[in-house]
Amino acid sequence: MSEMTFTDANFEAEALKSDQVVLVDFFATWCGPCKMQGPIIEELAKEIGAKAKVGAMDVDANPETAGKYNIMSVPTLIIFKGGEIKSTMMGLQGKEQLKAEIEKYV
Amino acid sequence: MSNYDVIIIGGGPAGLTASIYARRRELKVLVIAKAVGGQAALAHEVQNWPGTESTTGLELTQRMKVQAEKWGVEFVSDEVQSVTENSGVFIVKTAQTEYQAAAVILAFGLTPRDLGVPQEKELTGRGVSYCATCDGPLFKNKTVAVIGGGNSASEAAEYLSRLVRQVYLLSDSCNAAADAALVEEVKALKNVQVICGLKVTAVVGSDKVAGLKYNDLQTNEEKELAVDGIFVEIGFSPRTDWIKDTVKLNERKEIITDKVGATSQPGIFAAGDCTDVGFKQMTIAAGEGAKAALSAYKYLAAKKGKVATPDWGVKK
């Protein structure tokens, strides 16, 4: 599956109400480590296929969701399943680390 | 288990340059790094890379990766947990899997130093930050503390003063390590208060930062300061604890290397900012990476040479 772009408008339908395990990379356009995380998320989305939904959300453009989850640091990566937070990771994460974390919940 | 001639740990200028040099010597090379670029990728502008007047660290290191891939270097986005030797072969373990290599190059650079106080780890990303430019904008109209006595702390305080309501700049040294002009500039800012002669002793808060505790070094009084964010700017150090039983470190926890990048352990080489090299610079790290790769190549050739010698004539 290709990478998903999450927004305040689609977050409920695409993330919280999704049947799949969902990984959201909360990022900011101004943040250096986020720019390093970006290509990893893109590759991960392709490699993981239908197993999980993988995407990113710009915290500045989507203050409602970022505020709801109290994002105080970027990148923050959150895994959701059935609308609930299963795992939260702070700071840059490797692709294999994210894969293994997703595997725990599929 | 995947088998390599050389496994390089770290994806900054040292590791990427090492990978290109090793691969050009026809070694099978794997680079293991969370992300390509390392600290160098965070440099907004690079003006001292010879042959390139101005570029960004991200652009430059991405170009190095493309070049390495062209030569056939393999990459894994992961974090190494241990390197152990087993009868002349190195086992490189991540949380998920393990790889085997005949030689290893350590090039994992530096990591921001932490305060090492209670609740700091638990609240990292919940108000404790090591990157003012990343997380500063998320603290609009809040109160934050910047901790550190050098230029980076003063610069962070200046930057944050434009975004947040109130900044406290805290240090033990009263910013002795920062440029005097910069400190004066920061002190003149209306919403910055400089408090010094103190030692931060704890981060306060349960699910997010609510404040910090510090010891006033003059009165030896324990004081508390209410803040929403804590920006730690006390420099960088190599994260070498995991490898300290395998290679010798100096008192600064840097990996001790000789002039050609060899460590105290035969078969393990090191390059760049994680070593005791005199200067932490991208061009120097790249050169050190090249040296380590050529040393690894020489080491492997000598090792193979001993075993393969009798067959050489026959194969020709």
pLDDT of residue A70: 94
Q: End-to-end alpha-carbon separation of chain A, Å?
A: 15
Q: Please, which residues have CB within 8 angstroms of residue B219's CB and are 6 or more apart in sequence?
A: none
pLDDT of residue B1: 76
Torsion, Cα of A67, A72, A75, A77 (10° steps):
-60
3-state secondary structure of B122: coil
pLDDT of residue B308: 35
B56 lies within 8 A of chain A by CB = no
pLDDT of residue A39: 95
Give me the active site residues of B, please: 131, 134-135
Query: Confidence class of residue A74 from pLDDT cuts 50, 70 and 90?
Result: very high
pLDDT of residue B101: 98
In this complex, the residue of B36, B124, B134 whose CB is nearest that of residue A33 is B134
Q: What percent of chain A has pLDDT over 90?
A: 98
**B77·A40 Cβ contact <8 A:** yes
- Domain annotation for chain B: domains and CATH numbers: 2-110+238-303 (3.50.50.60), 128-232 (3.50.50.60)
Which residue ranges in chain B fall short of pLDDT 50?
307-316
Which residue of A73, A93, A98 is the best one to mutate when testing the B interface, meaning the one whose CB has the most B CBs within 10 A? Answer: A73
- Pairing, β B166-171 against β B143-147: parallel
Q: What are phi and psi of B91, to 5 degrees?
A: -105, 120
Q: Which residue has the tokens 């931060």?
A: B200
Beta bridge partners of B99: B2, B92
pLDDT of residue B87: 87
Q: Which residue has the tokens 């050169």?
A: B287
Which residues 42-101 on chain A approach chain B with CB closer than 8 angstroms?
A: 43, 59-60, 70-74, 76, 90-97, 99-100
Which residues in A lie closer than 8 A to residue B127 (C-beta atoms)? Answer: 72
Q: End-to-end alpha-carbon separation of chain B, Å?
A: 32
Per-residue model confidence as pLDDT tens digits over B235-287: 999 999 999 999 999 999 999 999 999 999 999 999 999 999 999 999 999 99
Q: Is the peptide bond before A75 cis (omega within 30 degrees of 0)?
A: yes
Residue B8 contacts residue B18 (beta carbons within 8 Å)? yes
Residue B208 contacts residue A72 (beta carbons within 8 Å)? yes
